[in-house]
Chains A and B, each alone.
Chain A
C-alpha cells in the first residue's frame, strides 16, 4: 500500500466532520472554497467609507492585504491575536487571556471602520470573549462593521485557520497546527448579546454549521 495513501487515510480518519474543512495539513490547491454571503456586505458597507481603517485580528495573510487594499483603498491594522492565544494555550493560562487581548488593542475609541475577527472567538473563554467584544465595540466608529465566524461544534481545536479571501464572496480556509484549545461554542443568542451596542445586520448559518455574522454600530 503506498505510503501516501496511508498518510492521507490517517488524516481523513482523524479529521473533523463540520465547522470547516478537514484539520489535515492539506495544500492550498485541495482546500475547498467557502462561499460567504456576509463578506460581500461587509465590503459593500466599507466601500462607502473614504480610506477606511480596518483591523484584522487573524494571522497576517498577504493576499488579504492586497485584496482589501485594492478594493477599499484602506489602512489595515494587523493584530494577530492568535499569537496571544497560542502563547496562553502553551502556558496553560487561558484564563488570563482577556487582559492581554485588550491591552494589545490600544487604539483611540471610535477609530476603526471595520474589524475582521474571523474565528477568534472560538478560541477564547467566555470572560475573554466578553472583554474583547466590549473593547471592540468601543473601537468601532459609528457606522463601523465587525465580521465574525463562529463554529458550533464542541471540539478541541488543534489548529488555527487562515481565512484567505479569494473573491468578494469566497474564502479559502487553510489550517495550521496549534496547541489544542477547547472551542468556546456560542449559540446565536450568545453571539448577538456579546456585542452590546452593535446591531446584527446579517447572520448566516453555513453548510459546515459555522455561522457568519455581520455587526454594525449604529450611526
Chain B
C-alpha cells in the first residue's frame, strides 16, 4: 500500500496492512500490527504508532514501535523514539530522546493519545485496508 507524494493528509491515519508514505501527513498514524515506511519524499508531522517504522524521509513527531525503528541514512527525525530495537544510520538526522527496553522486558505501551478530528486534502486516499478517518 502506497501513499503517493502528491497526497496530503491531515488527520488520523489507521490501517491493518503495511504502508509506505511518500506524501505528507499531519496528525496521527496508527499501524499497530504493521510496518510503516516513510519514503524518501515523505514528510510527516505526526505521532506514529506501529509495529515497525522505517524512516527514509522526514518525521517531526514521536515514534512508538512495538518492534523496531529504523532511521536510514537520508532519514530525519525530530521527536522521541520508543522501541525495543532502534537503528540509526550514519548520516541520518535525529534530535530527541530514545527509550529502549532491555531484551525480554515489557513491550512499549503503544496506546495513542486522544486526537482531534481530521481533514484530508486534496482527495481521498485510495486505501482499501488503511483508512484515513477524516472530516473537515
Residue ranges of A at the interface with B (Cβ–Cβ < 8 Å): 60-62, 65-66, 69-70, 73-80, 162
Q: Knowing that A62-B92, A70-B103, A75-B98 touch, tell me 19 more A-B residue pairs with CB under 8 angstroms.
A: A60-B88, A60-B92, A60-B94, A61-B88, A62-B71, A62-B87, A65-B98, A66-B86, A66-B87, A66-B100, A69-B100, A73-B105, A74-B100, A75-B99, A76-B98, A76-B99, A76-B100, A77-B96, A77-B98
Q: Which of B93, B95, B97, B100 contacts A73 (CB 8 A)?
A: B100
- Are A73 and B101 touching (Cβ within 8 A)? yes
The 8 A CB mask of B82-123 against A (1 = contact, 0 = none) is 000111111011111111111101000000000000000000
Count of chain B residues near A, Cβ 8 A:
20
A-B contact pairs, 13 of them (CB 8 A): A61-B88, A61-B90, A62-B90, A65-B98, A66-B87, A70-B100, A70-B103, A73-B102, A74-B100, A75-B97, A75-B99, A77-B96, A78-B98
- List, in ascending order, chain B residues with CB within 8 A of A73's CB: 100-102, 105
Closest Cβ–Cβ distance, residue A115 to chain B (whole Å): 14
Tell me the minimal C-beta distance from A84 to chain B in angstroms.
11
Contacts of A78 in B (CB 8 A): 94-98
| Cα A12 to Cα B44 with chains together (Å) | 44
Q: Known: A73-B101, A73-B102, A74-B100. Contact between A62 and B95, CB under 8 A?
A: no
Of listed A60, A65, A79, residue having the most chain B CB within 10 A: A60
State whether A65 touches B99 (Cβ < 8 A): no
Nearest CB in chain A: distance from B101 CB, A: 6
Please, how many angstroms separate the alpha-carbon atoms of A75 and B101 in the complex? Answer: 8
With a cutoff of 8 Å between Cβ atoms, the chain B residues found around residue A162 in the complex are 90
Residues of A within 8 A of B99 (CB): 75-76
Q: Give chain A residues whose Cβ lies under 8 Å from the Cβ of B102.
A: 70, 73
CA A78 – CA B92 in complex, angstroms?
13
Other-chain contact of B97, A61, A62, A66, A77 (Cβ < 8 Å): A77
Out of B95, B98, B103, name the residue touching A80 (CB < 8 Å): B95
Smallest Cβ distance from A136 to chain B, in angstroms?
17
A76 to B86, CA, bound (A): 12
- Given contacts A73-B100, A76-B97, is CB(A65)–CB(B90) below 8 Å? no
Cross-chain contact B100 with A65 (CB below 8 angstroms) = yes
Assuming the contacts A73-B105, A79-B95, A80-B95, asked whether A62 and B89 have C-beta atoms less than 8 A apart, the reply is yes
Closest Cβ of chain A to B73, distance in Å, is 10
Shortest C-beta distance, A166 to chain B (Å), equals 14
Q: Within the complex, what minimum Cβ distance (angstroms) separates A94 from chain B?
A: 22
Residues of A within 8 A of B88 (CB): 60-62, 65
